[in-house]
Chains A and B, each alone.
Chain A
Amino acid sequence: MNIFRWPAAVAVMALLLTAPAVLAVQQQPPPANEGFVQANDLPATEQLPAAPLVVAAYSIFLVLIFGYVWSIARRLNTVEREMRTLEQRQSPGGVRR
C-alpha cells in the first residue's frame, strides 16, 4: 500500500508546484519578435514635418546657385582687373616695373 502512496503524493506535489508556472506561461503575450504591428494613426508629435524639409531643400538650391554665380563674378572681376593693370603697364605712357 505504501509503495503506491509515495509516487502519488510526489505527483500531486509536482502538479501543484508547476501549475502556476504553466498558467503564467499560457497567459503571457506572444513574443515581440513575431512581427511588427502596423500603426496607422501616429500622434502628431511623432510625425516628422515635411514642410521645413521641403523649404530647406529649395533654400539650399538658391544658396548654392547664388553662391556659384557670385563666385564666377568675383573670379571674372579679378581677371578683368589684372588685365587692365597689365594693359596699363604695356601702354607707352604706362607704369613699368
Chain B
Amino acid sequence: MQEPSVVHSTFVIERSYPKPPERVFAAFADAAKKRRWFAESGSHDVEEFALDFRVGGAERLRYRFKEGTPFKGIVVMHEGTHQDIVTNRRVVTASTMTLGEKCISASLVTVELLATDNGTDLICTHQGAFFEGSDGPQIREAGWRHLFEQLAKELT
C-alpha cells in the first residue's frame, strides 16, 4: 500500500513591536527594507532578491549556505506570489521552496498586523506542505550524495 508523500505542518508565531502598523507594513512593502529582515541572514549569502508588492506580484529569493554551515554551497530558492494584501492589516503569500534541484515544500504564509496601545501585534501563520520521500531514487542518487559531500566536509 502506498504511503502519503506529503507532511502537513502549520505553525503560528506572534510578535509585538513598539511601532505603529504602518511602520511594520512598510517593512513588507518596501523591497530594500524587506530584504534586510527576510532575505539576509548570517548563515547564507543572498544571490537574488526581488519583490513586486501587489496582489499577483512575485517575490523571489535565492540564497546559498555559507562556509561553516553543514550545507555549505547549497542553493535555496524561494518563489512566492502575493495572494492578498490589505494595507497596514495583512499580507498573504503562497510560495515554494527548492533545495538544490528539488522542490521540497509549498507554503501559505499569512501575516496579520493588529494595532495595540503599545504598537503592533504581528501574527504569522505558516501552513506548509512538505514533500518527503516522493522521489526516493532521486534522493539517493542526487540529493543524498550532494548533501553527504557537504556534510562530510563540515564534519572532518
The answer on A and B forming one complex is no
